Structure 1
Amino acid sequence: MRVACVGAGASGLLLAYKLQRSFDNFSLVIYDKNPKISGTWYENRYPGCACDIPAHTYTWSFEPKADWSAVYAGSDEIFAYFGAFADKYSLHKYVKLQHLVTGAKWNAAVDAWDIDVIDLTTGEAHHTQADILINASGVLNKWAWPDIAGLQDFKGTLLHTANYDRSVNLTGKRVGLIGNGSSGIQVLPTIQPQVAKLTTFVRRATWIAPTRGFEQHFYSPEELKTFATDPAAHLAYRKQQEVAINSIFPMFLADSEVQSATFGMMTQRMQEKLQGRAEALAPSLIPTFGVGCRRITPGVGYLEALGKENVEVVYGEIERVTERGCISSTDGREHEMDVLICATGFDTSYMPAFAIIGEEGRSMKQEWVQEAKSYLGLAVAGFPNYFVISGPNSPIGNGPVLCFIEAQFDYILKLATRWQTENIRSFSPKREAVEDFIAYKDQFMKTTVWEHSCRSWYKSNSVTGKVTALWPGSTLHYLEAIAEPRYEDWVISYKGNRFSWLGNGFSQTESDPTADWSYYIRYHDDSPFTGRKKALQVLNKAGTIDRSTSMDTISI
């Protein structure tokens, strides 16, 4: 089984681990354009870059890290975590760095993907084939300069957070910052103490709060020692954080009591952190739309930094950029600066960075011309043997993140093992199954704050567009939904007789003289339950938690 993967970030490395752990007789090549692994955690090096969920939840479920320095760990630590993961399980051998995938086309004659790759170190073009193609390049991967007139006329230092140059010294400089999304909110308090003047251009309000009560906290030597020497205590702490994040979902329901209570509480907290400037800043900075319509960020130190003497907040759009700075459309003034930092996000259209052609010569651009439509966030109709990780309508903002990526790969590899063992030529989701899923998703989204009137990358950076980024439910809901493939939703074609995989009549057990040929004989019935509810109750340890008194129920 030949598998090709685009992207050696967290997802690509997990694929390598899972294939290596569970499969024999396969080849895997992971192509990545960067000179190092870890994807977004290699690329994003801007001041203050960190994960916006607690670090102990930003690990693979089976691969904890005891020595995170803080609740919200910086990007360098996260980069090191995935590097250590690759080292521990010898995953580098699958990766081709500085190799850019430029195109992929389904070849029906051989039931495989023809893939075009450029070696960025030599400029040499390569052509290869794969039976299964996986796009693990991520959601927030394609950055671009903001569409502002005169941007390239600026004579000072121009930076983008997604391509940041750490050699630039900001000490004593006049700095402009465009954007108050997640990246801008992390940059501002980090650079504020060292710059002479910081002008931040705020285009829209946004909710700022720690995840479910987890304020930033740097772990003490005693805490780090406990995590390192007491696995049970560390596991309990990890689970406490995970449960806290899993419990946020009711907040996203527009008419829920949790949303109403959270709205009032977060408004009060933001006003308190704005301190003496609350009256001036709150009307433009604190949203009127529901909490969660845009992605919430912890905003460690951000609101407090806005009140510093060297910070100027300018609301509204930038009319144009000049050689010396930015002219605000609100006041018409030219704000002069030495350095201009664009924290303006990514292309969130879900369109792959490479040209991809599926069945009957149909491109992904044609398939998604109106809307990015996936099957359960991981496959696309008309594109056989192709998967996308964190695809459209995955639970990217519904709760924990890495656990659902694990579940997506488990789902994918269940199809892969059938391909390898059952004489399958190709599999792709039925178009009617995708349309039914999209119809269900659209109906569900009407009940959520995600459809409130706010500009969000959840809606392809629109105000009123369809929610293409999020799952119609909680993260736990997603884990259960994709626990087992619904094969009736798939078009599966075979090479010859679909039962040829039955082989010579002997079992694989009989072909192994070291195996137990009576493995089914036992003292009691320890077989898994076939009913979904009972099987799930075993998995989630139903009856072991008293939610009314548990510390797991942390209030936001």
Structure 2
Amino acid sequence: MANQERHKFCIIIGAGPGGLIQAAELLRQKVLQAKDIQILERNDDYGGVWKRATYPGAACDVFSCLYQVSWHRNPDWQCLFPSRSELIEYYKNFAKHYGLSACTSFGQHAVRVTWATEKSLWIVETKDSESRNYRRWTSRVLVQAVGTFSQKHTPAIAGLDRFKGEVWHAADWPEDYDFTNKTVAYVGTGPTLVQALPHMQAKANLVHVFCRSMAYCQPMPNFEYPLWARRAFRWTPALLRIYAFILASAFFIWLYFAYRPGSWTARLTERGCRWYLYREVSDEHLLSILTPAGRFGSKRPLVSYSGFFKALQKDNVRVINCPIVAMDEFGLIVETPRSSDSKRRIEVLERGEDHTEEIQSMDQTIHVQADVLIWGTGFKVQEWGGTVPTIGRTGETLREHWDHYPNTLYGTMTSGFPNLFFINGPNTTPPWASPIQGFELQAALNTKAIRHIHQRSLKCPIYSLEPRKEKEEAWTEAIKAHLNKLATSPSHDPTNYYLNKQGQNTFFWPWSHTYYWWKTGERHSGNECVDCAR
């Protein structure tokens, strides 16, 4: 039963980088005061995805000087690539600097959001993670900054409920878990495995890595900044800005063209990744498994600076590229290329009886024993609007509204959902730039609209704003044509989380952040949005 109703002018769901940047921007621009803002976070501290990334070796694969807010730079990053602990500390200090702790409630899981048309308010219902009590909040404006990696994807495997070992998704990794003498089955070859495998392999008795298809892996040296460099950045802030600009420009020029098949940059990048693979791996069978198919960028490229390929070749690591068809009490049943009895094995398992001997007698099957099963199978990125059930002006949920394609205006607003804004919404992420810069641009854009709503609300308390449907459709269609030129296009036969069920990329912004800033510079001129004042 909901209780303890509270009202704020603006509620922000999510205390990760996006939510914090949005709150700080509202305060910096003096649009609202801290008493007018409420940040709701389901975790017990700041950091968002980095707070939840508790696997060993967790770190960012974007340069530390770029994975920070341009108007709150840290001169004291320890390494070229920041660790999880550094990132959490940075955003905790960021929140402290802008006084956001006074308007943040932790342990609040948003379970439902509803637009109340008569009052022109958003009603946000949360569940406290400790007391399990429900609380009701209301706000004039709602910002969803829940991120794209919040809904875990776990395969449905027959017999999973019979497995007696430990099971978790990589996003729910028990912190400081001890792998000593454990036999581990890790399913997936994404960025988490690249960083975690050297740590698992060093302690585990045996690690089975299930790899169905491999992405291109780039070698990147990670080094500690010397003390003199950190002091120079601190004493001369302009030097840090110039250094970040040079890195960002080089990063952009390289990857912008590397994601476009046929360009000389793409060809050189693919050759470079293959050269690195062939230099590191000598076993022909393992090479056949690890050699990527498709083009660079068809799947999310991997960044290795922790000895990933060397760890894969250790004596206690096995790489398996056969599909998992079922599970039993002690491990996984894997189908070999010549096996024809997978259906029969599944039927045996589903009978729920002990038929271990029958299963083991079947030809062409492999039983992989494991004490621990880890799903490194990613997230439901394409379920836009599904993280927080959101009911709009017409009674339609945001998930239903975006079922065919998540049409938005600038990736930050959508029709039918007045006064609702997004950080890291559909088609706002260019893979050749830091997402933090994108969050800054989107937060600044949202702040302009929220300022407009706040000013109009002084005279008309039920004022609301939403984009015109034809404008957001035009915006989305203009993006689609250019997305088809990227390596993620279905014409390059990729299987990745960027594409929806229609084969359309709903994730990327196909140009630069500078172009996004220019395209959105004239927002709210009167033609893009509908003023809903009665």
Q: Under a length normalisation based on structure 2, what TM-score does the superposition of the two structures give?
A: 0.87
Q: Is the 8 A contact 2:158 2:325 kept in 1?
A: yes
Q: Is the 8 A contact 2:466 2:531 kept in 1?
A: no
**Number of residues paired by the alignment?**
489
Matched, 1:123 2:123: no
The answer for the alignment partner of 2:372 in structure 1 is: 339
User: Matched residues in 1 for 2:103 and 2:405: separation?
Assistant: 34
**Structure 1, gaps ≥5 residues long:** 497-556
Cα displacement (A) at 1:167: 4.1
The answer for the alignment partner of 2:455 in structure 1 is: 421
Pairing 1:380-419 to 2, within 5 Å after superposition: 380-419=414-453
Change over 3 Å in CA distance of 1:326–1:227 after alignment to 2: farther
User: Matched residues in 1 for 2:313 and 2:437: separation?
Assistant: 38
User: Matched residues in 2 for 1:155 and 1:90: separation?
Assistant: 47
- 3-state secondary structure, aligned to 2:326: strand
User: Matched residues in 1 for 2:38 and 2:143: separation?
Assistant: 10
- AA paired with 2:161? Q
Matched, 1:11 2:18: yes
Match of 1:145 among 150, 154, 162: 154
The answer for the alignment partner of 1:45 in structure 2 is: 54
User: Matched residues in 2 for 1:188 and 1:84: separation?
Assistant: 31
Matched, 1:455 2:495: yes
Matched, 1:294 2:299: yes
Cα displacement (A) at 1:314: 0.3
- 3-state secondary structure, aligned to 2:136: strand
Match of 2:523 among 474, 477, 485: 485
Change over 3 Å in CA distance of 1:417–1:480 after alignment to 2: same
Which deviations, in whole Å up to 9, do the C-alpha atoms of 1:58-92 show, x marking residues without a partner? 11012222222222222111111101111222211
Pairing 1:31-110 to 2, within 5 Å after superposition: 31-110=40-119
User: Matched residues in 1 for 2:526 and 2:511: separation?
Assistant: 22
The answer for the alignment partner of 1:446 in structure 2 is: 484
Change over 3 Å in CA distance of 1:280–1:34 after alignment to 2: same
User: Matched residues in 1 for 2:326 and 2:304: separation?
Assistant: 28
**Structure 2, gaps ≥5 residues long:** 1-7, 337-363
User: Matched residues in 2 for 1:233 and 1:416: separation?
Assistant: 34
Cα displacement (A) at 1:144: 4.0
User: Matched residues in 1 for 2:213 and 2:32: separation?
Assistant: 53
Change over 3 Å in CA distance of 1:328–1:220 after alignment to 2: farther
Cα displacement (A) at 1:229: 4.0
Which 4+ residue blocks in structure 1 deviate beyond 6 angstroms? none
User: Matched residues in 1 for 2:378 and 2:82: separation?
Assistant: 20
User: Which deviates more, 22-31 or 92-101?
Assistant: 22-31
Cα displacement (A) at 1:265: 2.2
Which deviations, in whole Å up to 9, do the C-alpha atoms of 1:497-528 show, x marking residues without a partner? xxxxxxxxxxxxxxxxxxxxxxxxxxxxxxxx
- 3-state secondary structure, aligned to 1:458: coil
The percent of aligned pairs where both chains have the same amino acid is 24
Which deviations, in whole Å up to 9, do the C-alpha atoms of 1:320-378 show, x marking residues without a partner? 22222222223621111222222111111222322211122122132122222222211
Matched, 1:311 2:317: yes
Which deviations, in whole Å up to 9, do the C-alpha atoms of 1:104-153 show, x marking residues without a partner? 22222122212222233323222222111110011111224332222332
User: Matched residues in 1 for 2:397 and 2:514: separation?
Assistant: 33
Match of 1:252 among 255, 259, 273: 259
The answer for the alignment partner of 2:356 in structure 1 is: none
The answer for the alignment partner of 1:201 in structure 2 is: 210
Match of 1:269 among 269, 276, 282: 276
Matched, 1:374 2:408: yes
Q: Is the 8 A contact 2:162 2:329 kept in 1?
A: yes
Cα displacement (A) at 1:304: 2.1
- AA paired with 2:299? R
User: Matched residues in 2 for 1:202 and 1:313: separation?
Assistant: 7
Matched, 1:136 2:141: no
Change over 3 Å in CA distance of 1:224–1:152 after alignment to 2: farther
- AA paired with 2:157? I
- 3-state secondary structure, aligned to 1:421: helix
User: Which deviates more, 335-344 or 115-124?
Assistant: 115-124
The answer for the alignment partner of 2:358 in structure 1 is: none
Q: Is the 8 A contact 2:205 2:316 kept in 1?
A: yes
- AA paired with 1:282? L
Cα displacement (A) at 1:495: 3.9
Change over 3 Å in CA distance of 1:35–1:70 after alignment to 2: same
Q: Is the 8 A contact 1:101 1:118 kept in 2?
A: yes
- AA paired with 1:473? W
User: Matched residues in 1 for 2:23 and 2:81: separation?
Assistant: 27
User: Matched residues in 1 for 2:32 and 2:187: separation?
Assistant: 51
- 3-state secondary structure, aligned to 1:478: helix
Change over 3 Å in CA distance of 1:299–1:221 after alignment to 2: same
- AA paired with 1:283? S
Cα displacement (A) at 1:171: 1.9
The answer for the alignment partner of 1:326 in structure 2 is: 332
Q: Is the 8 A contact 2:122 2:138 kept in 1?
A: yes
Cα displacement (A) at 1:405: 0.5
Cα displacement (A) at 1:249: 0.7
User: Matched residues in 2 for 1:104 and 1:84: separation?
Assistant: 30
Matched, 1:188 2:205: no
User: Matched residues in 2 for 1:416 and 1:253: separation?
Assistant: 37
Q: Under a length normalisation based on structure 1, what TM-score does the superposition of the two structures give?
A: 0.83
The answer for the alignment partner of 1:551 in structure 2 is: none
User: Which deviates more, 174-183 or 259-268?
Assistant: 259-268
User: Matched residues in 2 for 1:147 and 1:76: separation?
Assistant: 33
User: Matched residues in 1 for 2:268 and 2:430: separation?
Assistant: 24
Cα displacement (A) at 1:225: 3.9
Q: Is the 8 A contact 2:126 2:135 kept in 1?
A: yes
User: Matched residues in 1 for 2:195 and 2:202: separation?
Assistant: 13
For the aligned residue pairs, the C-alpha RMSD in angstroms reads 2.1
User: Matched residues in 1 for 2:104 and 2:49: separation?
Assistant: 16
